[in-house]
Structure 1
Amino acid sequence: MNWMQRLFILLVLWTPLSGFASPSDHPLLQKGWAALVKDNENEAFRYFWQAYEIAKKENNTAIKAESLLYLGICSYGSSLEKGLQFVTQSLSEYKNLENTNPEKALIGRYKCLQLISTIYVRQKKYTEAKELSEEVVAELKDKNDTSGTLGLAHNTLGRLNELDNDDYEAERHYSLALQEFEKGKNTAYLPTSYCKMGEIAQKKNDKKTSLDYFYKALSIAEKSENKHAQINAMIALGKWHIAFENDFLQAEIYYNKARILAVPLSDKTFEIITIEALIELKKQEGDFEEVSKLQHQVIVIKDSFYSFEREQIVKSLEVQFEVSEKNRKLDLLSAEKEVTKLTNYLLVGLLLVIIVVFTIFYSFLKRINKRDKQLLKAKEELVALMEAQKQLKEQQFQNDIEFKESQLSAITIQMLEKNELLDEIKTVLNKKEPTSEKDIKKLVSKYTIQDNNWKDFDNYFESINKNFYTRLKQKYPDISSNDLKICALIKLNLSIKEMASILNISPDSVKTARHRLRKKLQLNTEENLTDFILTV
Structure 2
Amino acid sequence: MYYLLHKLPGLVLWLLLLSTYTFAQNHTKTDSLKRKLHDVSDNKEKLLVYNTLAREYSNQLDSTQTLLYANLALNLAKQTNNPQAALKAHSQIGWLLLFTGYYAKAKARAHHMLTIVQKHPHFKNHSNVYNLLGAIEEHQGNYNPALEAYKQALQIAQQIKDTKGIGVYCGNIGNVYESLGNIQQALHYHQKALNFAQASGNQKGMSANYNNLALTFQTLGDYPQALAYYQKSLRIKEKLKHLPGIAKTLHNIGILYENQLNYTEAIAYFHRSLKVDQQLNDRRGVAQSYSAIGGIYDKQQQYDTALVYYQKSLKLSTQIGDKSTIAHSKLLLGNLMITQKKYTQAFNYLRQALELYQKLGEQPLIAEVFLHLAKALHHQQKYSQALAQANKGVTLARQTKQPQLLKAGAEIRAKIHKTMGNYQGAYQDYHLFKQMTDSLLNIGNAQKIAHLKTKYAYEKKQDSLHWAHAQEKSLFVELTNHRRTVQNSTYALLVLLLLLLLVVIRFYRSKQKNNQQLNALNQALNTAHEHLKKQTRARLQEAQARANAETKNLQNEINYRNQQVTTHTLHMLQKNQTLKQLRTLINEMRQQKNFSKAKKMCQKLVNLIDQGLNMDKDWESFHQVFDQLHPDFYQKLKYQYPSLTKNDLQVCALLRLNLNTKDISDLMGIAPDSVKMQRYRLRKKLEIASDQDLNEFMIMFDPTITVTHAA
TM-score with structure 2 setting the length: 0.37
Q: Which has the higher contact order (CA 8 A, sep 6+)?
A: 1
